[in-house]
Structure 1
Amino acid sequence: MSATNDILPNHAKAPITDTSALGLSALSAIFWGTNFEATRIALSGLPPWTAAALRFAIAAIAILFWLRLSGGLDFRVLRRNLFAYLALGCVGVAGFNAALFLGMQTSSPVTAALIMGTTPLTTNLIDAVLQRRLPAAGAVLGMAISLFGVSLTVGAFSGTRFTSGDLLILAGSLAWALYTIGCRRAVTDATPMQTTAWTMTAGALVLLFAAFFFETPFTALTASTAPALGAVLWMAVIGSVLAYIFWQIGIARRGPGATSVVFNLVPVSALVIAAVFGRMPDLYQIAGVAIAIFGILLASGRLPRLKASNASA
């Protein structure tokens, strides 16, 4: 998979550095962190399958339109990776988001964010097993520190009780881990933009089918509210299109293991958004943010590189 920044038109493309890829991956995590509050708002006016299907119908149309404008709409790529795109769309788009929307009916944003914070550990474990190797000691330590920071941030040590929806959120976390690895291992000769567009389209079709099977989408849309529709639009454009594209670029440049570590920023972002909506963090949560960021830098190899640069100077 190419590591080229294919968000831009062909004549404006430029190579992506490791630092830029890390930054884009972090932006993806921040955008996804806003989705927890947006999901809560969306579910106040829409049923779960309809909300998820509408989100990705809009997102798929938007990203295919931009892919056409940027010159990347190549149906040979689709034919070559058709089975991979269908599987990844079902698992990483439809499966992940169905689990999120259905789980959030009984789970809280804080608990859901904590469960999603375990995704990097799951991703690296699966990736290591597939490659028949052990993860690097520094990466494991960094991930453990980051996960501890995430746990502290979302209040996991305050005796939070789990609900039935938490199991669905956990299943969604596993689906995302498989998606992250599959995009690297199963897709051939495709740009991050192409992979994002076609997996998102496949996932949107699955979600639309489920929405019409389980619910009455047109009736739900006519009875919906402006905040709910606005939240879905936000998740479609910011929390889906931009987030998925940036995440794919990170995978292509840095690999699934290194990229997945940045996913720990999702609950941190969710906490900040909660504060914006009036739920201010306490000192323990602020400390958790700092610890999580430190763990991400350690696991991604940024701290050793900084030390090496200082030593050479």
Structure 2
Amino acid sequence: MEVNFASMEVNSRSKILITAIAPLIWGSTYYVTRHFLPMDYPLTGSAIRALPAGLLLLLFTRQLPQGIWWVKTLVISSLTISGFFVLVYLAGSRLPSSIAALIMALSPIATILMARLLLNERITTPKLMGGILGIIGVALLLGGFSGTLDVLGLVASACAMLTSALGFVLTRRWQPPVGPATFTAWQLTAGGLVLFPLALVLEGPLPPQEPVTYAGYAYIIIFASVVAYLCWFSGLAHLQASTVSIIGLLNPLTGLLLGILLAGESLTLFQGLGCLLILTGIMWGTGTLRLSRTRA
């Protein structure tokens, strides 16, 4: 059940491709949240996303934290799961799917700085330039949006970006003593256990929903939680935190594409240029451009 890159003997590019599955899926959660899930139940929706996914993984991994890892798991899960899910849920329900996803694209710069402070990771020119190109691309994408943006949604999205970046850097710093599947199970379960009682007290039981809503919940449990987090923490186990964060720039591209194809949001010439810059930033920041030139 563990996604172990070492045992699979995959190269650096394959690690990057597997990790990239996570932001591609996460970019779609904004659309699913906004169009299929109830807006007034952010805690309940977050608990539903986390706890069933964590328990499902625990059935396969059958291993609980030991010693200090109870505390470390709670700290990391508070940043990457419970707090993050609530903030993303709020952002997804109050912002257009493309805008909510785009703000998360600022995560690479935040992660690069945090990784320098907490991990002593060197800030290399390719990663820095990749992050800068991503920011420019994001600015172009945002500049193409016309309309009113919800302030609470913007704040929630920005806080989600910062808390997740810190949680991922701490994961890399502390180096979990287990594989990605087990550690993902710990985090999702811990985050869900924190959220579930809060949801019951503050929001009450979820009223009956339409079948499409349950389908939306199933999607975020299986794909946005189990599959995406397995891929993401597999990347963090074998790639630098700053490199993984650059891959996260794929997140807004998914959100933008779904917004265009399914929500009728428009794409301008500047937004198209922004997409190109983001893709270039990802390739430069992760070293795939360099790898391509070397093998040519």
Secondary structure at the counterpart of residue 82 of structure 1:
helix
Deviations 1:150-191 (A, max 9, x none): 332344675864512211211111110011111111244211
Of 30, 43, 46, which aligns to 1:49?
43
Q: 1:295 to 1:160 in 2, by over 3 A?
A: farther
The answer (yes or no) to whether the contact 2:43–2:86 under 8 Å persists in 1 is yes
Q: Structure 1: which 5+ residue stretches go unaligned?
A: 68-72
Question: Which residue of the partner structure matches residue 271 of structure 1?
Answer: 256
Q: TM-score, length-normalised on structure 2?
A: 0.91
Q: 1:155 to 1:47 in 2, by over 3 A?
A: same
Question: Which residue of the partner structure matches residue 106 of structure 1?
Answer: 94
The answer (yes or no) to whether the contact 1:63–1:197 under 8 Å persists in 2 is yes
Of 224, 229, 240, which aligns to 1:239?
224
Q: Distance in 2 between matches of 1:63 and 1:116?
A: 26
Question: Which residue of the partner structure matches residue 6 of structure 1?
Answer: 2
The answer (yes or no) to whether the contact 2:33–2:93 under 8 Å persists in 1 is no
Does residue 201 (structure 1) correspond to residue 174 (structure 2)? The answer is: no
Q: Distance in 2 between matches of 1:60 and 1:169?
A: 24
Q: Distance in 1 between matches of 2:250 and 2:144?
A: 16
Deviation, 1:307, is 1.7
Secondary structure at the counterpart of residue 276 of structure 2:
helix
Question: 2:63 corresponds to which letter in structure 1?
Answer: D
Q: 1:162 to 1:215 in 2, by over 3 A?
A: closer
Q: Distance in 1 between matches of 2:277 and 2:120?
A: 30
Q: 1:156 to 1:281 in 2, by over 3 A?
A: closer
Does residue 136 (structure 1) correspond to residue 124 (structure 2)? The answer is: yes
Does residue 166 (structure 1) correspond to residue 154 (structure 2)? The answer is: yes
Of 108, 111, 114, which aligns to 1:120?
108
Q: Distance in 2 between matches of 1:174 and 1:43?
A: 24
The answer (yes or no) to whether the contact 1:78–1:198 under 8 Å persists in 2 is no
Deviations 1:45-77 (A, max 9, x none): 76221111111122112222232xxxxx333x4
Question: Which residue of the partner structure matches residue 70 of structure 1?
Answer: none
Q: Distance in 2 between matches of 1:278 and 1:132?
A: 42
Q: 1:271 to 1:61 in 2, by over 3 A?
A: same
Question: Which residue of the partner structure matches residue 32 of structure 1?
Answer: 26
Question: Which residue of the partner structure matches residue 85 of structure 2?
Answer: 97
Which structure 2 residues correspond to residues 138-287 of structure 1 after superposition, within 5 A? 138-155=126-143, 161=149, 163-217=151-205, 220-222=206-208, 224-279=209-264, 280-287=266-273
Q: Distance in 1 between matches of 2:183 and 2:189?
A: 10
The answer (yes or no) to whether the contact 2:39–2:93 under 8 Å persists in 1 is no
Identity %: 25
Secondary structure at the counterpart of residue 52 of structure 1:
helix
Q: 1:244 to 1:263 in 2, by over 3 A?
A: same
Q: TM-score, length-normalised on structure 1?
A: 0.86
RMSD: 2.3
Deviations 1:206-239 (A, max 9, x none): 111210121112xx242x2222221111011011
Q: Structure 2: which 5+ residue stretches go unaligned?
A: none
The answer (yes or no) to whether the contact 1:24–1:250 under 8 Å persists in 2 is yes
Of 65, 68, 74, which aligns to 2:63?
74
The answer (yes or no) to whether the contact 1:104–1:112 under 8 Å persists in 2 is yes
Question: 1:112 corresponds to which letter in structure 2?
Answer: A
The answer (yes or no) to whether the contact 2:111–2:242 under 8 Å persists in 1 is yes
Question: 2:284 corresponds to which letter in structure 1?
Answer: L
Count of residues in correspondence between the two structures:
294
Secondary structure at the counterpart of residue 54 of structure 1:
helix
Question: 1:100 corresponds to which letter in structure 2?
Answer: V
